[in-house]
Structure 1
């Protein structure tokens, strides 16, 4: 029995002994026969009471032990701990209270686990490397990206920042700790090759000063790549605008300086101005169209269309141009190949592909083909032109990229047509590509799902 039950049973025995002493004092002056009779009666009564009390106390002791064990397990955070409750007395009420506490404890613990897992998921998917440091540069937590940036496997235990093997990180952290404030610096990290990063160390405030330090590392390459792309885009647009504007201005000044009286040439001057103005208009239209396609919220007017009918309608608008260039335009598209698409944007893509094929094919055939594969609708525009060298193929769908810049400008190309095709198809969740052999021709194609884009809401 527990000390509590033992003390309780001992108290009961003392009470019994006291009762017997009092009874002996009372019976002191009675006859011997009467005394014997009374002692027998007392024994008959007290022995069962004592035995019953012992059994009752053993039961109480067992239940108290169960309550204590459950409370200890609950204190250690063991899940699923419950006190058996099989009666309706005070101990059962205490057991029910402990069970309620255990249930609330488990709910709170599960909530904390969910919050922890959510935090881990967020940190694990950040593009930045994150590490939580103490003032002695011990790493208490670091996300996988941090270890990936520094190029080592995550050490066991609580490693120091020196384990990252990048002294510059220690220098920045120590500078922040000495100053007691945040520090931001651009640094170089060497893992196989040199890479540029922005590292920041900021204090995590607590009572009496910083409790910890948050170190973050962000790769500067995407930002610098975007800056380079913006500069390249601005330079390309400026160049594309400057060329026709210079031509327009030159011929306009020629006309104003006496060219209007030059009967043999003035019509040619005006025609050149008109041609360059059309080129400017086409460039502006393509820029606006591309900007619309690149918007994150670019809308799609999705409807169920016959893809073969769309292809035939677009092909019919190029028949005269193909005939003037001595080309044969063929369409291979059986009726009934249906797709859920934005017809206007698909027509834009087809128009640009056909325009390129007809412009850059000197002799032969341009073939527009629609096929239904197991999982997609494939549309291709093939030609018998000069073909494209393999080194150019990966960049063909970039803005302003031209294989033959002189020929492209001479034919009125803006350099944006294939970029427009790519973005129009990507809006539909599709993909674009090109197959080409020098001297044999090229085939530009795109694939889209017949059920419409799946990744757009």
Structure 2
């Protein structure tokens, strides 16, 4: 536990130091200019936005880690949740194929956050291609599935993508954004809903891509 906390603190320090250093450099440039250039101001604004996104992501992760016994569950219509998330995220390439009345037990706030993070991840990697949101129901659980049309993930990374700060691509570019907590938040939200999250690559002969499975208790 202590090793995990130390690693967590180290990762946070590393992630926040990078944009801080860039901001300090930009401020130094501003101090030397009688009339700051628009490019310098825009660069500084981008760094502030990046840090703000990091803090928001950390707060989301912290909130999602609340004790499951303090999370209230209710019966939720999955089609309605999917529609709300798709509209909120502007996922214009997403198709929802969930039978009306397909329900599960979950906390609506945590489930929306989990589905939203998965959809954003799918949009980023599908690069404008289709996203499919569908569900299957069994006697004891319901699986909500989000399929993208991206390149998928190397098999050796699949068991780890819901771990905090884990990134398949170690090259951290400003365009990628985030600090590797998006899918960790998904996993933690699902635990709060008494469910689980997993993923698998789709067969290449069917077009490939990644499928994220959110398993929830049956009503």
Q: Give the structure-1-normalised TM-score.
A: 0.45
* 287, 292, 298: which one aligns with 2:63: 292
Structure 1 residue 403 displacement after superposition:
0.6
- Distance change >3 Å, CA 438–CA 256, structure 1 → 2: farther
CA distance in 2, matches of 1:249, 1:271: 14
Q: 2:75 aligns with which of 304, 328, 335?
A: 304
Q: Give the root-mean-square deviation of aligned CA atoms.
A: 2.1
Alignment of 1:255-404 (within 5 A): 255-258=30-33, 261-262=35-36, 266-296=37-67, 299-319=70-90, 322=91, 328-404=93-169
Q: Per-residue CA shift, 1:299-327, capped at 9, x if unaligned?
A: 323333212101111011233xx45xxxx
Q: How far does residue 298 in structure 1 lie from its aligned partner after superposition?
A: 6.4
1:221 corresponding residue in structure 2: none
Please show how residues 21-420 of structure 1 align to structure 2 within 5 Å: 226-258=1-33, 261-262=35-36, 266-296=37-67, 299-319=70-90, 322=91, 328-406=93-171, 409-420=174-185
Partners of 1:413 and 1:287 lie apart in 2 by 10
Number of residue equivalences = 216
Could you say which structure has the higher helix fraction?
Answer: 1
Q: CA deviation at 1:434?
A: 0.5
Matched position secondary structure for 1:367: strand
Q: In 1, Cα distance between the equivalents of 2:68 and 2:96?
A: 34
Name the CA shift for 1:446/1:330 in 2 (closer, same or farther; >3 Å).
Answer: same
Unaligned runs of 5+ in 2: none
- In structure 2, the residue matched to 1:128 is none
Cα distance in 2, alignment partners of residues 426 and 347 from structure 1: 14
Q: 1:408 to 1:434 in 2, by over 3 A?
A: farther
Match of 2:210 among 428, 442, 450: 442
Determine helix, strand or coil for the equivalent of 1:405: coil
Alignment partners' CA distance in 2, 1:431 and 1:419: 12
| Structure with larger Rg | 1
Choose between structure 1 and 2 for higher RCO, CA contacts under 8 A separated by at least 6 residues: 2
Cα distance in 1 for residues equivalent to 2:89 and 2:68: 32
The 2-side partners of 1:369 and 1:229 are apart by 36
TM-score, normalized by length of structure 2?
0.89
Instruction: Point out where structure 1 has 5 or more consecutive residues left out of the alignment.
Output: 1-225, 452-457
Q: Does the 8 A contact of 1:388 with 1:437 survive in 2?
A: no
Instruction: Provide closer, same or farther for how the CA distance between residues 255 and 298 of structure 1 changes in structure 2, counting only shifts above 3 A.
Output: farther
In structure 1, distance between residues paired with 2:196 and 2:146: 15
Q: What do the CA deviations read for 1:208-263 (whole angstroms, capped 9, x no partner)?
A: xxxxxxxxxxxxxxxxxx232222211111111111111112112211211x525x
Deviation at 1:343, TM superposition (A): 0.7
- Residue 164 of structure 2 aligns to a residue whose secondary structure is coil
d(CA) in 1 for partners of 2:56 and 2:137?
Answer: 32
